[in-house]
């Protein structure tokens, strides 16, 4: 005995079960990301002036790597078109082409995640520095001649942790070029990097671009990480369909095509979230 309408649509609704199921799930996802976007808007609208002196803005922006973000957007868009092409290939009974497009999709997904972790690492090793005399910088930290790195998390410091290290009394700091006031312009227009030699007791505040550093980073990391988890989950499912799950094509081709459509719908949704996320956190 089987559940009806797993492959054929129910006549009066015109839908097969999984299609309705995935759209319901996506509706809840809209509310999930909707909640996060609402939080973002609220925190940003309410952000107080002067909380982040280094960029002289209430809400630091232009701190993310725009060229890379743009590239990643293109990667995700590509994967979105390939997944729908994969489905179309099945519709045209071309299994080999289906598998090719699926592989491309999964490859894009993994590239997206790889690039994203490169960006994360870039942020975790980027610092905000404020001195006792009120000067503020962003840049890179050099402790005992080495750049602290994300992959070795014990070397990501804030001021307290730095002071707790007895063998460190001074640091070097490669400051980023000054930015145009009022509107940060990312990596554009490189001026020279200033090298600072500092005693630890000159420093008022020092922290990497971590979630705890500022609400902007907090929301950036939280939403993109959640989005990344969706990408990862989607990639796993699509990879499953491309290989072990593809057995179903032989026995139940319609049900298999439906699964691909449903998986694709999820994948497009992930793309949709990014379409908003990218301008909102990178550009605005």
Partner 1 sequence: MSDNHSHGPTGGSATAGHDDHDHHDIASHIKTYIGVFIALLVGTVITVSMYYVHFDSMALTIAIALFIASIKSFLVAAYFMHLISEKKAIYGILIISAIFFVALGGLTLWGMHDWPTGAEGKAMYVP
Partner 2 sequence: MSATHTSTLPQHGQGHSHSHDAHDHHEPNFWHKYVFSTDHKVIGVQYAMSALSFLFFGFLLMLCMRYQISHPGEAIPIVGSLMERVLGEAASGGKMSADLYNSFGAMHGNIMVFLAIVPLVFAAFGNYVVPLQIGAIDMAFPRVNMASYHCYWMGGVTWFTGFFLPGGAAKSGWTSYSPLATVAEFGHSFNGQTALLVGLVLLITSSLLGSANFIATVVQLRAHGMSWMRLPFFVWAQFVTAFLLLLAFPPLEAAGILQLMDNVFHTSFFLPTGLVVGGSQLPVSGGGSPLLWQHLFWFLGHPEVYVLVLPAFGIVAEVIANNTRKPLWGYKSMVYSVIAIGFLSFIVWAHHMYLTGMGTKISTFFQTTTMMISIPSVIILTALFISLWGGSIRFTVPMLFAVAFLPMFGIGGLTGLPLGFNASDIYLHDSYYVIGHFHYVVAPGTMFALFAGVYFWFPKATGRMMNEFLGKVHFWGSLVCMNMVFAPMFVQGFKGMSRRMSDGGAIYFGKDVAYGADPGVLKLNNMILASALLLFVFQLPFIFNFFWSIWNGRKVTSDNPWDATTLDWATPTPPPHGNFLKEPIVYRGPYEYSVPGASRDFTPQDQKDPKG
Please select the residue that binds partner 2; options are 72, 80, 213, 257, rule is CB under 8 A.
213
Q: Who contacts 230 (Cβ-Cβ below 8 Å, separation ≥6)?
A: 270, 273
CA distances from 266 to 50, 230, 273 (A): 40, 9, 11
Sheet holding 127-131, edge to edge: 194-199, 170-175, 136-142, 127-131, 203-208
Please select the residue that binds partner 1; options are 155, 172, 252, 268, rule is CB under 8 A.
268
CA distances from 123 to 53, 126, 211, 225 (A): 18, 5, 10, 14
Residue among 159, 162, 167, 193 at smallest CA distance from 179: 193
Structure-token pair, residue 158: 């804030």
Region of 134 on the Ramachandran plot (φ > 0 left; ψ -120 to 50 alpha; else beta): left
# residues near partner 1 by CB under 8 A: 57
Least Å from the CB of residue 107 to partner 2: 27
- Under rule CB under 8 A, residue 132 binds partner 2: no
Least Å from the CB of residue 161 to partner 2: 12
Structure-token pair, residue 252: 């139940």
The helix or strand, by DSSP H or E, that contains position 194, with its residue range, turns out to be strand 194-199
* Span from 31-39, 65-73, 190-198, 235-243 in contact with partner 2 (CB under 8 A): 31-39
Cβ nearer to partner 1, comparing 151 with 276: 276
Least Å from the CB of residue 251 to partner 2: 6
- HSE on the CB side for 124, CA within 13 Å? 16
- Under rule CB under 8 A, residue 3 binds partner 1: no
- Under rule CB under 8 A, residue 252 binds partner 2: yes
Give the integer Cα–Cα distance in Å for 208 and 193.
18
Cβ nearer to partner 1, comparing 2 with 160: 2
Least Å from the CB of residue 24 to partner 1: 6
Q: Of partner 1, partner 2, none, which one does residue 222 interact with (CB within 5 to 8 Å by kind)? A: partner 2
- Under rule CB under 8 A, residue 174 binds partner 1: no
Residues 141-170 close enough to bind partner 2 by CB under 8 A: 160
Cβ nearer to partner 2, comparing 92 with 225: 225
**Own/partner long-range contacts of 29-35 (Cβ < 8 Å, ≥24 apart):** 29/269, 33/223, 33/226, 33/273
- Under rule CB under 8 A, residue 3 binds partner 2: yes
Q: Which residues bind partner 2 (CB under 8 A)?
A: 1-8, 10-11, 13, 15, 17-18, 20-21, 24-25, 27-36, 38-39, 42-43, 46-48, 51, 160, 210-215, 218-219, 222, 226, 248, 251-252, 255
């Amino acid at each position: 005995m089987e559940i009806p309408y797993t492959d054929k649509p129910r006549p009066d609704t015109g839908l097969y079960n999984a299609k309705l199921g995935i759209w319901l799930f996506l509706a809840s996802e809209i509310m999930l990301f909707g909640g996060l976007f609402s939080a973002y808007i609220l925190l940003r609208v309410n952000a107080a002036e002067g909380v982040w002196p280094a960029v002289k803005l209430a809400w630091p922006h232009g701190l993310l790597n725009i060229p890379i973000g743009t590239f990643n957007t293109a990667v995700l868009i590509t994967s979105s078109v390939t997944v729908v092409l994969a489905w179309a290939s099945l519709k045209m009974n071309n299994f080999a082409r289906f598998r090719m497009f699926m592989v491309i999709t999964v490859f894009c997904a993994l590239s997206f995640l790889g690039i994203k972790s490169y960006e994360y690492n870039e942020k975790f090793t980027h610092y905000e520095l404020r001195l006792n005399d009120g000067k503020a910088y962003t840049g890179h930290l050099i402790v005992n001649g080495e750049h602290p790195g994300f992959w070795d998390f014990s070397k990501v410091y804030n001021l307290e942790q730095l002071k707790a290290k007895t063998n460190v009394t001074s640091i070097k700091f490669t400051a980023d070029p000054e930015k145009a006031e009022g509107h940060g312009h990312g990596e554009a227009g490189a001026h020279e990097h200033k090298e600072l030699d500092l005693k630890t007791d000159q420093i008022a505040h020092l922290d990497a671009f971590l979630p705890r550093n500022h609400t902007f980073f907090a929301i950036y990391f939280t939403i993109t990480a959640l989005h990344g988890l969706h990408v990862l989950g989607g990639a796993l499912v699509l990879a499953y369909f491309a290989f072990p799950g593809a057995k179903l094509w032989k026995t139940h081709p319609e049900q298999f095509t439906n699964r691909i459509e449903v998986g694709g719908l999820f994948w497009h949704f992930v793309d949709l979230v990014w379409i908003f996320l990218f301008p909102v956190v990178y550009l605005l």
